[in-house]
Each structure stands twice: as structure tokens, then as C-alpha cells.
Amino acid sequence: MQTFRLSPGTPNVAGFFDPRTFSVQYVVSDPATRQCAIIDPVLDYDEKSGATATHHADELLAYIAKERLELVWILDTHPHADHFSAAGYLHDRTGVPTAIGRPIQQVQALWKELYHWPELATDGRQWSHLFDDGDTFQIGELKARVMHSPGHTLASMTYLIGDTAFVHDTLFQPDFGTARADFPGGSAQALWRSIQQILALPDDTRLFTGHDYMPNGREPEWESSVAEQRRTNKHPLSTEDEAAYVAMRQQRDSELPMPKLILHALQVNIQGGRLPAPEANGERYLKIPLNALDGAAWGN
């Protein structure tokens, strides 16, 4: 299975695929200055044993060192429901600032209630920086822009860097379609609008997605283009298809079980990828609320 691919350009995009969570992590670098950002790093977690590890995050750091890049940002596109973020670990290792969209505050407030977690701070202080829609930042000579893309989550952000867009879990590869919108705070209508914003970008914009589920057993893929998505995405995405898309998405989502790690992952990821603090005995514990996601389809 191919788990690494370099897409050269401006920027260079190195993609790292994690088969356990079907997630893609990115190192995005400016070829002129060799400055780079990490996007959506994964902290390894085995739900059967409760073990955590940093193999994937360390792989990103090893790549950065080998290529003699300078890390300047650690970015999450949204609070992930299917894997733990390694943003906190990477920040502690490197001192490099972390960032996510300011709507994370809304997600923190929502899940604070679901977890009955009165001491949780809901002002986003767990990250170094919170982005608003339209904010810009630099990776070397490359100007990056932030676009709020809600629907999959309240806090989903697209990062536009050079000729690329990191579209997280809004669009998947064309043969798989688009993201679900039934998590707490999700909306199929908002997702439709976010997709239309992405598809309004220039045709040759390179799109990098947050997951790939390898339909029909093909090799993992995570790069497409705006033109390709408009032409071949399996879901109805033309501008006159809003009602059909929303109906399709709501029907499809009603049949999907929740991700197996959603209740594990959100309590870590709304803290910037930091594990729960040790208790008096020195051990860390996850808190799993029962029946908090009432109405979700049962998994096999």
C-alpha cells in the first residue's frame, strides 16, 4: 500500500496516509524558503488496549529534518472525530505555534455539555492562534488564506496555500463523494454551501482531502482538482442540485454508524490534541458518555 506521495509545485505537498484511520497528514512547504506547515497530524491510538504513541507524528518530524525544512505552523482543519490530533505533541516537541478556526469555541461549548465537563475552557486557549474566515498568514514567501467551510463540523476550515486547497473532510476523492454532515453541529445545507465555495476556485486548484477510503480496493489517493471534482464527483454537485444533494446527504447519513472513535477523540481534540491530565494515581482516563448520540445508526 502506498502511504507517502510528494506532489511538487508551489507549494510542495508531501502526503502521509495512515491506514488505521484512513487519514492523510500533510507537510506543505515553500520551495523558495523551505519553510513548511504540518496539516492534520495524527496521534496514534489503539482503542483495544488504550495505548497511545507518536509514530506518525515523529515520521513527519523526520521528513522535515531529512528535507532540511523549517516548520513554522502546525494546523488542524477541524476537530477530528476519527483520530486523535498530534498538534499538542508536536507543539511541545518544536515550540511551533498551533492553529485552528475560531469556531472551535462553538464546538468546545457543544461537547462540554455532552461530556458534562464544567472545567473545560471554551475560548480556544488550547491553541496558539485561532483563525477567522478570510485571515491570511505566511509560509515563507507563500501567502495562505483561511476559508470557513462548515457543514461537516461547525469549525471546519479550508486552507488555501499557493495553488492548493486543503479541504479536510468536505470533499473526498471523486469516486467516494463528500463528507457526512450528521455530527453534532453538522448541516447538509451548510456543507453544500461550503462545497460550492471550494468549487468556485480556479479549475486547476489542487485539492487535498483529509481521508481516503479506497473504494473498490484501489490504492490510497488524496489529490484531485476543482475541475475534476466538478466533472466526476459521484455526488450531485452542480449549482442546481442543492435540494437533491441535501436529500441524498441526509438519507445517507441516517444509515451511517458513528465513527468508532468519536467519543474518544473529541475530548482530546477539543483540547488541541492533548490527552486528559493524569489523575491522582498518575494515570490518564477517557470519559465516554452513554447514549449521548441518540438516534445514531448502530455499527456492526
Condensed to tens digits (0 to 9), the pLDDT of residues 162-201 reads 999 999 999 999 999 999 999 999 999 999 999 999 999 9
Mean of all residue pLDDT scores within the chain: 96
Say if CB 126 and CB 91 are below 8 A apart. no
User: What number of other Cβ atoms are within 10 A of residue 148's Cβ?
Assistant: 20
62 phi/psi in degrees, rounded to 5? -65, -40
Give the per-residue pLDDT at 3: 97
Give the per-residue pLDDT at 296: 79
Nearest C-alpha neighbor of 297 from the set 235, 265, 250: 250
Specify the range with the lowest mean pLDDT, choosing from 17-26, 55-64, 155-164, 234-243.
Answer: 234-243
Q: In the 8-state DSSP scheme, what is residue 50? A: T
Which CATH class for the 4-269 domain? alpha beta
Q: Enter the C-alpha cell of residue 61.
A: 518530524
Q: How far is CA 56 from the centre of its chain?
A: 15
User: What number of other Cβ atoms are within 10 A of residue 51's Cβ?
Assistant: 9
This prediction's pTM: 0.97
102 confidence band (pLDDT: 50, 70, 90): very high
Say if CB 169 and CB 210 are below 8 A apart. yes
Give the per-residue pLDDT at 297: 84
Share of the chain above pLDDT 70, in %: 100
CA distance 69 to 28: 10
Going by C-beta distance under 8 Å and a sequence separation of 6 or more, which residues neighbour residue 33? Answer: 70, 140, 141
111 phi/psi in degrees, rounded to 5? -75, -20
Say if CB 259 and CB 82 are below 8 A apart. yes
Q: Collect contacts of 250-258 with beta carbons under 8 A, ≥24 apart.
A: 250/181, 250/182, 250/188, 252/180, 253/180, 253/181, 253/182, 253/188, 254/182, 254/297, 255/297, 256/180, 256/182, 256/297, 257/296, 257/297, 257/298, 257/299, 257/300, 258/81, 258/293, 258/296, 258/297, 258/299
pLDDT digits (tens, 9 = 90+) for 238-293: 988 999 999 999 999 999 999 999 999 999 999 999 999 999 999 999 999 999 88
Mean pLDDT of 6-15: 98
Give the per-residue pLDDT at 300: 65
Mean pLDDT of 76-100: 98
Give the per-residue pLDDT at 191: 98
Going by C-beta distance under 8 Å and a sequence separation of 6 or more, which residues neighbour residue 194? Answer: 148, 149, 150, 151, 156, 158, 170
Give the per-residue pLDDT at 223: 98
299 confidence band (pLDDT: 50, 70, 90): confident
Cα dihedral 182, 187, 192, 194 sign:
negative
